[in-house]
Structure 1
Amino acid sequence: MTPESVLSVGATLGEGPVWAGDRLWFVDIKAHRLYRHDPATGALDTWQAPDQIGWVLPAARGDMITGIKTGLHRFNPETGQFALLHNPEPTRPHNRLNDAATDPAGRIWLGSMDDAETEASGALYRLDKGHCTDSGLPKVVITNGPAISADGRTLWHTDTLGKTIWRVPVREDGTLGTPEHFVTIEDGAGWPDGSVIDAEGCFWTGLFGGWGVRRYDPSGKLIATVRFPVANVTKIAFGGPDLRTAYATTARKGLSAAELEAQPLAGNVFAFDPGVAGLPVHLANS
């Protein structure tokens, strides 16, 4: 599981990788940039978003849904146009949307965060058939993940600055049960960032400032660590025709000039063999 740099994009804050339509999609939040990469041809398409863009997910109607600082937007890859769908936080202009995942029912679970990374104003929302509601989980400074089990009955929710990951039951109607502690990242190991579940039900998290990604079994036991040549690893996505290639976004954000010189690959997209397949990405019902 040795990561190799496969896209030299030098992202300030690379994030949100997702495999959709046989392509790898990802964003650079701070550059307001959306990317689509075809590993088969090497093509890399780029679009400029209207503001900070945290993620992109495929929708059943054929377009994409994106999380932008100003709200949820539809994105049409054919025209390159972003259209506002809904702003879940019109009274919190200091917040931005940060990470998201789609469950088997087509609901998008999305989180917000304080862009200054100081105030506990970040919430987790559920977007279901165009209706966006607060999940009711306690607010934190930076929400991350979320990750969804194959059956859609469990959600993992990350409190990045609290270094804690919670496992939450998902009821049939999409409401959430009581969160249970899953994992706390120890001091010195970085901060838990984006996450995903693999085909064996194990949990993967990027480690911002932790030089890698970790894999935990369903009980929360650490079973694998993949080391990177860069400090800020934000999230992985399973891609390729068999979903057995792990693609990882990374970031240059927060690195000093000396650290950037020592990490010339920081901000690039990496790939490695995770030794396990991932789960297919579900289409959003909105």
Structure 2
Amino acid sequence: MTTEPTSILSVQATLGEGPVWVVREQALYFVDIKQHRVHRFDPATGDHRDWTAPGQVGWILPADDGAFLVGLQQGIARFYPDTGTFAVVATPETHLPGNRLNDAAVDASGRIWFGSMDDGEGADSGHLYAFEEGEARHAGLDPVCITNGPAISPDGKTLYHTDTLGRVIHACPINNDGTLGAPRVFAEIDEADGWPDGSVCDADGHIWIGLWGGWRARRYDPAGKVVTEVRFPCANVTKIAFGGPDLRTAYATTARKGLDAAALEGQPLAGNLFAFDAGVAGLAGHVAKLG
């Protein structure tokens, strides 16, 4: 594996997102939001499977019963790969039919932090939630148009939450009772560098951010300083996940959304799954506890 991103799976995703390494399967799962697809890729064998979701699907995370939880436009659902079936278990935003769920992470307690967004990308109707013991509750942060991230620090004490259109990443303390403290600005992204998309923490407590329209992913230290940039051959880098036996391979989802024919001609690999040597280990992912 090289330090340069290499396309390892050609899926030409309209909006590839939410890569997650599932330790129990030694496989990577990710989604294509706009094509309503859930993907599974085994890098050891090259095996690739995919399933059709009943609507836009923003994320997928492993659960402690061997199944998965996914974030659909209509709410959180359980997903069973063996049968390809989905069953909605929580609908936190029935009052916001123009919203959809967008990006999520699991903390050490098995709690899922997930966000929503205005699917039309115009209204500040996106909220951050916590899902635990079968219930979704509002996390108490101000609404934004597009929530992204979130990412959890290795010690489990900080949640990084992204306001994509505001081009700012916030850091919030996670209290012992699972509530969030007051957010502070962790990093701001210049307009010329694109929009901050998905995020993930590595084992050193640094934060990796995919940059939509930025042709790169960035690694920030815990003080919010850029320490690494990884350039891609396509503009829309959405999120990084660490995987492989030593958790040192970085996988990246990308997107073709918003690219016209001329742009796609210059970016033939846009929408594919990429991999590169991150030079640092990631964290073994937690599983969601169903309660």
With normalisation by structure 2, the TM-score equals: 0.98
| Aligned pairs (5 A) from 1:150-229 | 150-229=154-233
Q: Which residue of 1 aligns with 2:68?
A: 64
Give the superposition deviation at 1:44.
0.4
Q: Which residue of 1 aligns with 2:111?
A: 107
Give the superposition deviation at 1:258.
0.3
CA contact (8 A) 1:247 1:271 kept: yes
Unaligned runs of 5+ in 1: none
Distance 2:208 2:45 in 1: 28
Distance 2:266 2:41 in 1: 27
- Which residue identity is paired with 1:15? E
Counterpart check, 1:84 vs 2:82: no
Give the superposition deviation at 1:238.
0.1
- Which residue identity is paired with 1:91? H
Query: Aligned to 2:150, which of 139, 146, 149?
Result: 146
Distance 2:207 2:154 in 1: 12
- Which residue identity is paired with 2:21? W
Identity, % of aligned pairs? 62
Q: Which residue of 1 aligns with 2:10?
A: 8
- Which residue identity is paired with 1:162? G
SS of the counterpart of 2:18?
strand
Figure out how many residues of one structure are paired with residues of the other and give that number: 286
Distance 1:106 1:237 in 2: 18
Distance 1:76 1:241 in 2: 24
SS of the counterpart of 1:25?
strand
Distance 1:88 1:100 in 2: 14
Q: In the TM superposition, what whole-angstrom CA distance separates every residue of 1:38-89 from its partner, at most 9, and x where no partner exists? A: 1111110110000000000000111000000010000011111000111110
Q: Which residue of 1 aligns with 2:261?
A: 257
Give the superposition deviation at 1:199.
0.3
Distance 1:220 1:193 in 2: 16
SS of the counterpart of 1:188?
helix
- Which residue identity is paired with 1:256? D
Give the superposition deviation at 1:219.
0.3
SS of the counterpart of 1:261?
helix
Give the superposition deviation at 1:141.
0.1
Distance 1:212 1:130 in 2: 37
Distance 2:261 2:51 in 1: 28
- Which residue identity is paired with 1:17? P
Give the superposition deviation at 1:150.
1.4
Q: Which residue of 1 aligns with 2:50?
A: 46
Give the superposition deviation at 1:3.
0.3
Give the superposition deviation at 1:228.
0.2
| Aligned pairs (5 A) from 1:15-30 | 15-20=17-22, 21-30=25-34
Distance 1:279 1:23 in 2: 15
SS of the counterpart of 2:20?
strand
Give the superposition deviation at 1:118.
0.3
With normalisation by structure 1, the TM-score equals: 0.99
SS of the counterpart of 2:265?
helix
CA contact (8 A) 1:104 1:150 kept: no
Q: In the TM superposition, what whole-angstrom CA distance separates every residue of 1:178-198 from its partner, at most 9, and x where no partner exists? A: 001100001110000000000
- Which residue identity is paired with 1:22? Q
Give the superposition deviation at 1:131.
1.3
Distance 2:63 2:210 in 1: 25
- Moved >2 Å (runs of 4+): none
Q: In the TM superposition, what whole-angstrom CA distance separates every residue of 1:120-146 from its partner, at most 9, and x where no partner exists? A: 000000001111100010000000000
Distance 1:153 1:80 in 2: 35
SS of the counterpart of 2:282?
coil
Computed over aligned residues only, the root mean square deviation of the Cα atoms, in angstroms, reads 0.5
